[in-house]
Chains A and B, each alone.
Chain A
């Protein structure tokens, strides 16, 4: 008897809740799309400005700024992470101070400070090398690069430090045992392994950086939001141009997400899955 029951055909449970949820979500989505399609927005204008020269320049500038600010951030991040872990109390303290200041103040404020540095130092002088008016040096590009990059470094240094600490100390000892210097050990042995831990959060921060560059529009840097604004000040097509900017941010961020996948694979060499 029990043997018969054991071999009866089985019928899967019906997940009625899932059908309901799916229908509701799709309905809301359709409502949003329909209202935008019929709303007071000229989609042809969106299409027309998508590839306008000023917009494309803005997209390139956004991308360029994100990349360079991130490079500055990474370089400073590694430097300050190593300083934070050094045995020298002065370098440790300075690193701590750096993180405290740049993480503790709004990014927009920092951009304004860099951009207006000329008010404090009218001239920028390194004897025999540079001698210039600060206003000429502190272009929107330079101010945005410093503001975004230096602040990024404060966050990145914590990520890098976590990555370095995640590498087994035996690795450092093995490297020293074959006569490597501290610097070689860091560059060849510790950092490549730390990368596996560092990269996922850095990838996310890179993506945040793309969006943060929009702050630089406030100091006249010609990134994509700034370009869009310039155009809608003239033609009043506010929403259309904001959509254009939205489109490009999504494209750039998607490309970066793809890049992140490729790089992460590269640094997981030798790791058993």
Chain B
């Protein structure tokens, strides 16, 4: 479903991703853990082409992201083509990034109406279904500023789902939440994973990773240090750095 090969990213002289390779099969949940600044967000942003990658390549459903291969060279895609490649990839941000001038329902239907060109009625009906799915059926008319952090994040998940994504990216979706609100967001994500959605989740919630992930990746300093099933990486890590990180987090 998604395959990254030797992805490098530099910000000026700062080498942030130093060759990330990994693969996620359809329906799998991959959890990415690692210390702050190790490049987890940058890697997710590369998959959604919010950053361009300097070396390496990423395929989603066998489609090369950002470039087309012609005459033995990689030609950069146009903005419109990149926008089209982003459609089947949903993204949930740490700081929600809901559109503050739109109600919860307007946030959810914006993409379907403007990007997928669905009719207003179809989009609204499905938007309400999605809000119900994240437990916010009665909050459709509420502006984000009147919602709690947990509610905002659930609207953000509904907004991403409205684009009928085949892959969902989560960048520390519960890190900006008060502790008592973390559970409601994780519950929605657990439900989503149960429905067979392919997911890449950057998280510090090791309990969630243990329970839901098929695969856990530990990143440090722009590299994948260790990867494997949660029982292995989270319980019996092979590397010293992983052990140190886990003992610091727990």
A residues lining the B interface (CB < 8 Å): 168, 170-171, 173-182, 184, 188-189, 192-193, 267, 269-272
Contact = CB atoms under 8 A, between A and B. Distances in A.
Interface residues of B, number: 33
Contacts of B162: 178
A174 B100 contact: no
Nearest to B116: A179
Nearest to B92: A177
Contacts of B249: none
A267 B102 CA distance: 11
B110 A173 contact: no
Given A177-B90, A180-B111, A171 B99 contact: yes
Given A171-B97, A182-B79, A177 B50 contact: yes
A178 B163 contact: yes
A170 B110 contact: no
Interface in B81-120: 83-84, 86-87, 89-91, 93, 95, 97-103, 110-111, 114-115
Contact of A178 (B95, B102, B115): B115
Interface of B: 48, 50, 79-80, 83-84, 86-87, 89-91, 93, 95, 97-103, 110-111, 114-115, 143-146, 156, 159-160, 162-163
Nearest to A193: B101
Nearest to A175: B99
Contacts of A173: 50, 93, 97
Contact of B163 (A179, A181, A188, A271): A179
Contacts of A168: 97
A176 B97 contact: no
Contacts of A175: 99
Q: Is the interface of A mostly helix, strand, loop or mixed?
A: helix
Contacts of A270: 100-103, 143-145
Contact of B145 (A171, A188, A193, A272): A272
Given A171-B99, A270-B100, A181 B145 contact: no
Nearest to B49: A176
A91 to B, nearest CB: 16
30 contacts: A170-B93, A170-B95, A171-B97, A171-B99, A173-B93, A174-B93, A175-B99, A176-B50, A176-B83, A177-B50, A177-B91, A177-B93, A178-B87, A178-B90, A178-B110, A178-B115, A178-B160, A178-B162, A179-B83, A179-B86, A180-B114, A180-B115, A184-B115, A188-B110, A267-B101, A270-B101, A270-B103, A271-B100, A271-B101, A272-B145
A23 B157 CA distance: 64
Contacts of A174: 91, 93, 97-99, 156
Contacts of A179: 83-84, 86-87, 111, 115, 163
Q: Closest 8 CB pairs between A and B? A: A178-B111, A174-B97, A270-B143, A179-B87, A177-B91, A170-B97, A272-B145, A179-B115
Nearest to B162: A178
B143 A178 contact: no
B24 to A, nearest CB: 18
Given A177-B86, A177-B89, 18 more contacts: A171-B99, A173-B50, A174-B97, A174-B98, A175-B99, A178-B111, A178-B162, A179-B86, A179-B115, A179-B163, A180-B83, A180-B115, A181-B79, A181-B83, A269-B101, A270-B101, A271-B100, A272-B146
A157 B100 CA distance: 24
B14 to A, nearest CB: 19
Contacts of B93: 170, 173-174, 177
A176 B86 contact: yes
Contacts of A170: 93, 95, 97
B100 A193 contact: yes
Contacts of B143: 269-270
Contacts of B102: 270
